[in-house]
Structure 1
Amino acid sequence: MINQIALDNEVKRLLDILYEKRFEKLNEIKLSRLLKKNPYLFRSVGIINCSDLIDAQLDAFLSSSDETIFGNDFFEPLALWTATNAEFQDPRIVTVGSASGTDLSIETSDSYLAIAVKSGTNIFNSQSTKGQSTEFLELQSRLRKLKKEIRTIIGYGYGRNKASKKSTKEKYAGQAFWYLLSGEEDFYLRISDSIGKSAIEHRQEYLESYNKTKNRLLKHLMVNFVEDNGELNWHKIVEYNSSIEKPEKIKESNEE
């Protein structure tokens, strides 16, 4: 069993990195980037308030950004750490992925596992896995000289996913993935508990940073896309997003 204190410390270390990058994302967001999101979608839900529009656009942007950050800066390094610190009767050699498309490798006495780590089983990850089939085939060809079973695996940090019977690669998600790496059936729950111990200390600082970013974006929205009577000018918003003619640059104080 992986030591609980060691797991807590590693999760805390990774969360510190994750939040540092979340703060960076908040500070660099500009209204011009948010307005690239689907304006018809936001109007279709009846948004008429400037603050509500910024909240909706900001949350949509951060949700996508957080998923990427969490995959790259939390799940990937935690998967490598877990595999390295797990104890199995059959000794394992764990290394950072040595081939394109793989994040870590586990070599046992009779097998070689080449693993690509993804965050969740969403459509974007599903699309990105299609290009890995060729990379996995090339890897299998190179490793045949080891005379071991070569297993090409896509691991998802959460969710459920199984490869089709015709697939040449295996898929493990959520509990199944973390069990593969740790040998512990409840390890996926232990990760959640460790996150809970460290997340609260970051929340207040993040909310303060979020509100500052929201106020800055709200100011720029009101200067550029709000009428004197306080109404959102949806025509200007849609034109900025979709007109043939390139729109004028948004007046943003941090660019002046």
Structure 2
Amino acid sequence: MTENEKQDILQKAKEFFKDIIVESHIRNTKKLFKLKEFNINPFLITYLANYLTGNNNPESIAKALIYPRVLGTSINTLFGNRLQTFCIKVLSGFASTTSGIDIEFIDALDNRRKYCQIKAGPNTINKDDVETIKNHFTSVRKLARTNGLSIQFDDLVLGVMYGTEKELSANYKRVNEEYPVIVGQDFWYRITGDEDFYSDLIKAFGEVAIEADSTKLLNHTIDSLANEIRSSDEFKNLLK
């Protein structure tokens, strides 16, 4: 892969992060000004508010509800759900027409063509996913035999965008018993032939993040939710 091709991927990654991840994150944040958006545990909410801020006033309760959604589950789920978009927009040069395969690339280690499914992180597949992944790879091998193509077991790989091998969950390790699971820096090196590409990709996302200061939006959302909490019968006996 040439330097221009690598820079093209990094630029497309920045555009993906800004146009897809950041914009969706903002839309999801704007939804959180209403109590109906939350499944509230009344046994824990005042404890969490006090744990976070030292009091359980409406603003503190709003923060205890909003922060986990905005900074945790929401953005991580969003990133995982947009993997196909990432493949289409950023890794279009590696697009595969094979069912069950996200991308194809020439491996920088052994110079063989790899047929790859992509997952987000080291804990992002469940027990049922393991058999689905293996079945997809089995189908590819059968199709290859039908078409007279030579595909080895280690030509079918599961690529994990971030993390390290030691962080892989037990479900990934079950896949790895039959098909290689390549993760993080190794995954991106195999695709690009550049040992620094993984860190360069993280930096590219970080450059977009610097521009994504949504402090005003977050504060406005917290204030709006706090106002609803003040007028809510559910919270009247909890507020002090």
TM-score bin, normalised by smaller chain:
0.7 to 0.9
Residue 138 of structure 2: aligned partner: 137
Summarize deviations over 1:134-173 as a string: whole Å, max 9, x none: 2222222222232233533222221113645972222111
Gaps of 5+ in 2: 51-55
Work out which structure has the larger RCO, using CA pairs closer than 8 Å and 6 or more positions apart in sequence: 2
Cα distance between partner residues in 2 of 1:118 and 1:187: 18
**Pairing partner for 1:202 from 195, 212, 237:** 212
**Pairing partner for 1:11 from 10, 13, 18:** 13
Q: Which moved more, 1:46-55 or 1:210-219?
A: 46-55
Residue 151 of structure 2: aligned partner: 148
TM-score by length of 1: 0.69
Question: Residues 162 and 184 of structure 2 are in contact (CA less than 8 Å); yes or no, is this contact kept in structure 1?
Answer: yes
Residue 71 of structure 1: aligned partner: 80
**Equivalent runs, 1:53-132 vs 2, <5 Å:** 53-62=61-70, 63-73=72-82, 77=86, 81=90, 84=93, 94-96=94-96, 98-100=98-100, 102-106=101-105, 111-122=112-123, 124-127=124-127, 129-130=129-130, 131-132=132-133
Runs (4 or more) in structure 1 with deviation over 4 Å come to: 37-46, 107-112
Residue 25 of structure 2: aligned partner: 22
Residue 227 of structure 1: aligned partner: 236
Shift of 1:187: 0.7
Cα distance between partner residues in 1 of 2:238 and 2:43: 22
Residue 183 of structure 1: aligned partner: 193
Q: Specify the SS of the correspondent of 2:3.
A: coil
Question: Residues 51 and 218 of structure 1 are in contact (CA less than 8 Å); yes or no, is this contact kept in structure 2?
Answer: yes
Q: Which moved more, 1:71-80 or 1:166-175?
A: 71-80
Q: Which moved more, 1:14-23 or 1:106-115?
A: 106-115
Question: Residues 80 and 120 of structure 2 are in contact (CA less than 8 Å); yes or no, is this contact kept in structure 1?
Answer: yes
Cα distance between partner residues in 1 of 2:103 and 2:90: 10
Question: Residues 162 and 183 of structure 2 are in contact (CA less than 8 Å); yes or no, is this contact kept in structure 1?
Answer: yes
Cα distance between partner residues in 1 of 2:229 and 2:217: 18
Write 1 or 2 for the structure with the bigger share of helix: 2
The structure-2 alpha-carbon separation of the partners of 1:118 and 1:55, relative to structure 1 and needing over 3 Å to count, comes to: farther
User: Aligned AA for 1:33?
Assistant: E
Gaps of 5+ in 1: 85-93, 232-256
Identity level (%)? 19
Summarize deviations over 1:90-143 as a string: whole Å, max 9, x none: xxxx3246323x322336898542322222112x43446323222222222222
Q: Which moved more, 1:126-135 or 1:72-81?
A: 72-81
**Pairing partner for 1:160 from 143, 153, 164:** 164
Question: Residues 118 and 159 of structure 2 are in contact (CA less than 8 Å); yes or no, is this contact kept in structure 1?
Answer: yes
CA RMSD of aligned residues (A): 3.3
Cα distance between partner residues in 2 of 1:97 and 1:60: 38
Cα distance between partner residues in 1 of 2:142 and 2:79: 32
User: Aligned AA for 1:125?
Assistant: I
Shift of 1:195: 2.3
Cα distance between partner residues in 2 of 1:43 and 1:154: 43
> When the two structures are aligned, how many residues end up with a matched partner?
217
Q: Which moved more, 1:177-186 or 1:141-150?
A: 141-150
**Equivalent runs, 1:232-247 vs 2, <5 Å:** none
Q: Specify the SS of the correspondent of 1:60.
A: helix
User: Aligned AA for 2:8?
Assistant: A
Shift of 1:69: 2.1
